[in-house]
Amino acid sequence: MAVDVFSVPIFLVVFREALETVIIISVLLAFLKQTLDGPNRDVKVYRKLVRQVWLGTGLGFFLCLVIGGALIGVFYTAGGNRWENSELNYEGAFSLIASVIITAVGVALLRIGKMQEKWRVKLAVALEAPIRTGGRKGVIKRFLEKYAMFALPFITVLREGIEAIVFVAGVTFSAPASAVPLPVIVGLLAGAVVGYILYKSGSSTKLQVFLVASTCLLYLVAAGLFSRAVWYFEQQKWNTLVGSDAAELGDGPGSYDITKSVWHVNCCSPQSEGGNGWGFFNAILGWTNSATYGSVISYNVYWIFVISMFVVMRFREVKGHWPLRKPKSVAQPVAGQEKGQESENDGIVERRSAGDEQTEC
Amino acid sequence: MAWLRPPRLSSLVRQLGFLALASAATVKYDFEIGWVTANPDGMAERSTIGINGQWPLPRIEANVGDQIIVNVLNSLGDQSTSLHFHGLFMNGSNHMDGPSQATQCPISPGSRFTYNFTIDQPGTYWYHSHDHGQYPDGLRGPLIIHDPDSPFKDDYDEELVLTVSDWYHDQMPGLLDFFISKANPTGAEPVPNSALLNDTQNLKISVEPGKRYLFRVINVGAFAGQYLWFEGHNMTIIEVDGVYHQQAEATMIYLSAAQRCSFIITAKNDTSENFPIVSSMDTSLFDKLPDDLNWNVTGWLTYDSTKPFPDPAVVDGDYEPFDDWTLVPWDNQTIYGEPDQSISLDVIMDNLDDGANYAFFNDITYRAPKVPTLYTALSAGELATDATVYGKYTHPFVLEKGQVVEIVVNNIDPGKHPFHLHGHNFQAVWRSEEEAGTFQDSGVTSANFSEVPMRRDTFVLYPNGNIVLRFLAYNPGVWLFHCHIEWHVQSGLMATFVEAPLDLQKSLVIPQNHKDACAAAGVPTVGNAAGNSANYLDLSGQNVPPGLIPEGFTTRGIVALVFSIISGLLGVAVIAWYGFVGMADQPAVEPAGAGVVSPADPPVVVAEPKGPTPTEVSLVDGAGGGGTRT
């Protein structure tokens, strides 16, 4: 897989964003089909609402493309040269943002079922809420409530899309421009396909294996990105210190700060021209030929954090409360919490209902 | 603006010397070295090292055969110092040569030191500090030895001394800190801020029509070579570095740092115009050319001070200076025969593990010993002929008295280097073109050498080329051989010749004031390069340069890589665990046609935890079936 036509990190994130978007749409459409296309048929309303869903999705998607295209265009034309002096700072910042986003969002792939549930709940609440009238306050809010079928997919697609764009923009700093289109397209297609499969056939072990594997890969990429971000910041400081001579030093002595170096080999640099293979290792695993204390320690710290995060989340799932905190008491009335609390991070939705029912399955 | 008239004193001394025949004088100087401020290029005032409150420094002048005594008092307050008399053989007085930690201890602030030696060589020389890269801060001045018996004495009417120099606005300690640091990994030498003629600019030298002037020109700079020419006038070279040569005509000469050249200029017979003198720095040495740098300095031969002083003409294309290698020595000394010792030195610049760039002869970069090399030679007894006692990093070579010694220097660096040998001048037997490669590979043999080679004590080596030098080891002493670019002296481009050390032990007595200076500086005067006076062959503790940069992975790197791989694998395992363990008790991914919540149903959902749960949540099937697997 040549890195200069296919950037794996871009593929992974676009795939993930596409997948979540397709899930939302599939839930909405299925719901509409269920309620309005079944025994209590109301064709006109059904068609109208389906149109709303597609309109919302389509507009959100289109807006994403526009904004994304504009942002990337700006980066490449106006920003390209101006940032040369502190180019690595920007690369570092984007790598960091990308890493954080993946870390926060990646876990959802492992709980697709929860994702579906979350959307079902949101949907139900949105449709259930009475349309409020009166006053200039909350015009937008009321509009959104009335046109929930439009607003939900629109906002979600927009949000997911911008997330993906920020990441793509950050990654494209280091990858050549030619490595962007293909993974974006493939990611969209793959997300759409998988989403459709989910729509039709539900989950299975094979699907879970696939999801687990792709999430592992995603986190490896995020770990690499985090380490790289730290590396970029340190390298920028070094380039500023050495000044104009830095460019002519290649991979040899003087191209890096030897007092901070943990290892350095004069070959195998992901940055160098013929660095295709090593660039791939850099993208997936964060490999660098010139590692610093910062880059090595940050890589390990990242994994420690992720491991703890997953262990804690599992604890929460099993025990129902965060570790070291008291379990919450039963049956707390929760007026006005109709939408429920949710943590975007892990897709867990917890709801307390007034007069809760207990049902064992 | 400065006017220069030939000093009356020198001609008086010459006349006296002539009358006094063989009676040699003692010339005494009391030099108090201290800080003054100076602004020779009018661009920046800076602290400069002066002597007796004065800068430019006083000239040392004497006749052949005179004894010179220089009493030095270091009033700098914050730096040590020393004085080296460049080009003088110091035969029998090696301890007066001057380089710190080679032939003496540094002179600490407040200490005194007396240099006392006899001159037996005529010519144009100079004196300068030879301690921690100090002389470019101003401590350098001319030293002229007059010769009543000069073969050219009837060829000129007056003598003038002219110095050319580069000049920095910043002080050397700060510049050196940057030069040898990880922030300068390419070893780029700091670029000078301007050029000076006689330590000033816009110098005007008044000349009378028809008179013949002997110009004694010295490059007292730190770094830059200088191209020198006098518009409208030719130069007749008679002496370089104190060695008389057959007269040679030149329109432009090149002087590297530390080189000297004496030539005769005949003034024109009419006074209708004044002629520019230009000295132009060799910018091929500079890492970059700042926009505000004027690398030329101008002066004028003034025939008539009322006439205009024209700007110098721009020279198109490359400079074509006189090639000093083509000179023929006046005494026709033929080339020394096959050498008894041939030393090959490769000039290499490389980085060490502190990230800084250092200069090497072969694989050794110079580090000063703990005991000055001369004092080791004097105290080591029989072991003084064993190069080990002088340490590895002084790069010592022991020479026997009377040997013909050959030095082959190969330049493995794309920069020019002027090489200087203390205590001798040498026959410049061969110089290759630029890019000729090493001497050993070039196919040149002694058949190509000059039969009557020119002689001097500072000779330029071209980029990626080679030179061959020969001299006779008749002068017992510790003599340094080094590049005279002061930056490279500090970064280690230096070797030490220990010539006839056993003879030194018999003849040399170190005066008390030298020993006092050592005591004040806290430097031992007996022992080997590591300061060990019990076992001279034990060099542990000698001063060493930073280590070599490790090739590839070190232990630290391997540990870090393995640890990181383990973290990654562990992380991936945890993720997989989380993903699969969730399958058992998480809501399954449902086909979209199922499990849709209808608005009528009570709100729903999530996670059915295993084990006791304080919060019960219910999962309600919507119409249409499907459900959550538990």
Give the span between the Cα atoms of A71 and B392, in whole angstroms: 61
Read off the DSSP letter of residue B122. Answer: -
Read off the DSSP letter of residue B329. Answer: B
State yes or no: pLDDT of B128 exceeds 60: yes
Identity of the residue in A30, A112, A241 whose CB atom sits nearest the CB atom of B593: A30
Give the span between the Cα atoms of B293 and A278, in whole angstroms: 44
Identity of the residue in A265, A306, A361 whose CB atom sits nearest the CB atom of B627: A361
> Taking CB atoms and an 8 Å limit, are B185 and A253 in contact across chains?
yes
Which chain A residue has the Cα nearest residue B566?
A300
Nearest to B200 by CA among B41, B415, B383: B41
* All residues at 6 or more sequence positions from B68 whose CB lies less than 8 Å from its CB, including other chains: B26, B27, B28, B29, B60, B62, B115, B116, B117, B118, B119
Give yes or no: residues B278 and B130 share one domain: no
Tell me what pLDDT residue B528 has.
Answer: 95
How close is the nearest chain B Cα to the Cα of A271, in Å? 18
In a domain, B595, yes or no: no
Identity of the residue in B580, B597, B630 whose CB atom sits nearest the CB atom of A120: B597
> Taking CB atoms and an 8 Å limit, are B571 and A296 in contact across chains?
no
How close is the nearest chain A Cα to the Cα of B577, in Å? 9
**Joined tokens for residue A61:** 């998607």
Q: Is B625 on the interface with A (CB under 8 A)?
A: no
Query: What value does the mean pLDDT take over residues B32-54?
Result: 96
Give yes or no: residues B474 and B365 share one domain: yes
Give yes or no: residues B358 and B490 share one domain: yes
**Mutation for A interface: B350, B558, B590, B618, most A CBs within 10 A:** B590
Give yes or no: residues B184 and B144 share one domain: no
Q: Is B591 on the interface with A (CB under 8 A)?
A: yes
Annotate A145-163 with DSSP letters as a single string. Answer: HHTHHHHHHHHHHHHHHHH
> Taking CB atoms and an 8 Å limit, are A203 and B353 in contact across chains?
no
Question: pLDDT tens for residues B393-417?
Answer: 999 999 999 999 999 999 999 999 9
Identity of the residue in B188, B588, B620 whose CB atom sits nearest the CB atom of A245: B188
**Joined tokens for residue B308:** 């205009």
Nearest to B424 by CA among B449, B454, B458, B451: B458
Average pLDDT, chain B: 90
Question: pLDDT tens for residues B299-339?
Answer: 999 999 999 999 999 988 889 999 999 999 999 999 999 99
* All residues at 6 or more sequence positions from B630 whose CB lies less than 8 Å from its CB, including other chains: A361, B585, B608
Give yes or no: residues B176 and B145 share one domain: no
State yes or no: pLDDT of B595 exceeds 50: no
Scanning B104-163 for CB atoms below 8 A from A yields none
How close is the nearest chain B Cα to the Cα of A62, in Å? 25
**One-letter identity of residue B1:** M
Residues of chain A with Cβ-Cβ distance to B554 below 8 Å are 263
Which chain A residue has the Cα nearest residue B577?
A212
Tell me what pLDDT residue A181 has.
Answer: 79
Give yes or no: residues B183 and B83 share one domain: no
Q: Under a CB-based contact definition with an 8 Å cutoff, are residues B216 and B262 in contact?
A: yes
* Number of compact structural domains in chain B: 3
Confidence of residue B187 (pLDDT cuts 50, 70, 90): very high
Give yes or no: residues B97 and B145 share one domain: yes
Scanning B281-300 for CB atoms below 8 A from A yields 288
Give yes or no: residues B356 and B270 share one domain: no
Q: Which residues pair with B409 in a beta bridge?
A: B345, B467
In a domain, B89, yes or no: yes
Q: Under a CB-based contact definition with an 8 Å cutoff, are residues A53 and A153 in contact?
A: yes
Residues of chain B with Cβ-Cβ distance to A121 below 8 Å are 597, 603-605
- Cα A136-A141-A145 angle, rounded to 5 deg: 125
Identity of the residue in B567, B581, B630 whose CB atom sits nearest the CB atom of A299: B567
Prediction pTM value: 0.80
Give the span between the Cα atoms of B311 and B129, in whole angstroms: 35
Q: In degrees rounded to 5, what are phi and psi of residue B570?
A: -60, -45
Give the span between the Cα atoms of B296 and B312, in whole angstroms: 10
Instruction: Write B24-28 long-range contacts (CB < 8 A, 24+).
Output: B24/B63, B24/B65, B24/B66, B24/B67, B24/B118, B25/B62, B25/B63, B25/B66, B25/B67, B26/B66, B26/B67, B26/B68, B26/B69, B27/B60, B27/B61, B27/B62, B27/B66, B27/B67, B27/B68, B27/B69, B28/B68, B28/B69, B28/B70, B28/B71
Give yes or no: residues B284 and B303 share one domain: yes
Q: Is B181 on the interface with A (CB under 8 A)?
A: no
Give the span between the Cα atoms of A292 and A309, in whole angstroms: 26
Strand, coil or helix: A30: helix
Q: Under a CB-based contact definition with an 8 Å cutoff, are residues B112 and B517 in contact?
A: yes
Q: Under a CB-based contact definition with an 8 Å cutoff, are residues B47 and B37 in contact?
A: yes
Tell me what pLDDT residue A246 has.
Answer: 65
**Mutation for B interface: A263, A306, A315, A328, most B CBs within 10 A:** A263
Question: pLDDT tens for residues B229-275?
Answer: 999 999 999 999 999 999 999 999 999 999 999 999 999 999 999 99
Give the span between the Cα atoms of B457 and B83, in whole angstroms: 18
- Helices within chain A (DSSP H only): 8-36, 43-74, 80-82, 87-106, 112-128, 139-146, 148-174, 181-201, 205-242, 276-285, 293-319
* All residues at 6 or more sequence positions from B290 whose CB lies less than 8 Å from its CB, including other chains: B191
Confidence of residue B606 (pLDDT cuts 50, 70, 90): very low
Buried b (16+ CB within 10 A) or exposed e, A39-66: eeeeeeebeebbebbbebbeebbeebee
Tell me what pLDDT residue A4 has.
Answer: 57
Q: Is B619 on the interface with A (CB under 8 A)?
A: yes
Which chain A residue has the Cα nearest residue B630?
A361
**One-letter identity of residue B422:** H
Check residue A202 and give left, alpha or beta (phi > 0: left; psi -120 to 50: alpha). left
| Helix (H) or strand (E) segment spanning residue B161 | strand B158-167
Buried b (16+ CB within 10 A) or exposed e, A230-258: bbbbbbbebbeebeebbeebebebbbbbb
Each residue's pLDDT expressed in tens, for chain A with a length of 361 residues: 344 566 666 777 777 778 777 877 777 777 777 666 666 566 777 788 888 888 888 888 888 878 877 877 776 665 554 456 677 887 788 778 778 877 876 776 677 666 666 767 776 676 666 555 555 566 666 666 667 777 777 877 887 787 777 766 666 655 566 677 788 888 888 888 877 777 676 555 666 777 787 788 878 888 988 998 999 899 888 988 887 666 667 777 888 888 889 898 877 777 665 556 676 677 778 888 889 999 999 999 999 999 999 999 888 888 888 877 777 665 444 444 434 444 344 443 344 433 334 433 3
More confident residue, B141 or A10: B141
In a domain, B602, yes or no: no
Which chain B residue has the Cα nearest residue A26?
B592
In a domain, B540, yes or no: no
Give yes or no: residues B461 and B493 share one domain: yes
Identity of the residue in A112, A291, A300 whose CB atom sits nearest the CB atom of B589: A112
Strand, coil or helix: B397: strand
State yes or no: pLDDT of B215 exceeds 60: yes
How close is the nearest chain B Cα to the Cα of A70, in Å? 35
Q: Write the burial class of residue B69 (CB in 10 Å: 0-12 exposed, 13-18 middle, 19+ buried).
A: middle
Q: Is B562 on the interface with A (CB under 8 A)?
A: no
Residues of chain A with Cβ-Cβ distance to B623 below 8 Å are 34
Q: In what order do the strands lie in the sheet with B477-483?
A: B396-399, B494-499, B477-483, B417-421, B458-461
Give yes or no: residues B12 and B58 share one domain: yes
Residues of chain A with Cβ-Cβ distance to B624 below 8 Å are 34, 38
Q: Write the burial class of residue B71 (CB in 10 Å: 0-12 exposed, 13-18 middle, 19+ buried).
A: middle
Give yes or no: residues B36 and B132 share one domain: yes
Domain end point (choices B331, B364, B397): B331
Scanning B337-366 for CB atoms below 8 A from A yields 350-351, 353-355, 357
In a domain, B209, yes or no: yes
**One-letter identity of residue A150:** F
Domain end point (choices B106, B123, B150): B150
Q: Domain residues for B14?
A: 1-150
**Mutation for B interface: A303, A311, A334, A348, most B CBs within 10 A:** A303
Identity of the residue in A30, A128, A361 whose CB atom sits nearest the CB atom of B599: A128
Which chain B residue has the Cα nearest residue A221?
B568
Query: What Rg do the C-alpha atoms of chain A give, in angstroms?
Result: 24
In a domain, B611, yes or no: no
**Joined tokens for residue B454:** 């020119």
Residues of chain B with Cβ-Cβ distance to A123 below 8 Å are 597
> Taking CB atoms and an 8 Å limit, are A348 and B607 in contact across chains?
yes
Identity of the residue in B184, B599, B609 whose CB atom sits nearest the CB atom of A320: B609
> Taking CB atoms and an 8 Å limit, are B614 and A329 in contact across chains?
yes
> Taking CB atoms and an 8 Å limit, are A303 and B622 in contact across chains?
no
Residues of chain B with Cβ-Cβ distance to A350 below 8 Å are 606-607, 615, 617
Largest Cα–Cα distance in chain A?
A: 76
In a domain, B12, yes or no: yes
Buried b (16+ CB within 10 A) or exposed e, A67-80: ebeebbeebeeeee
> Taking CB atoms and an 8 Å limit, are A300 and B583 in contact across chains?
no
Domain end point (choices B331, B357, B392): B331
In a domain, B559, yes or no: no
CATH number of the domain that B89 lies in?
2.60.40.420
> Taking CB atoms and an 8 Å limit, are B580 and A198 in contact across chains?
no
**Mutation for A interface: B577, B597, B610, B619, most A CBs within 10 A:** B597
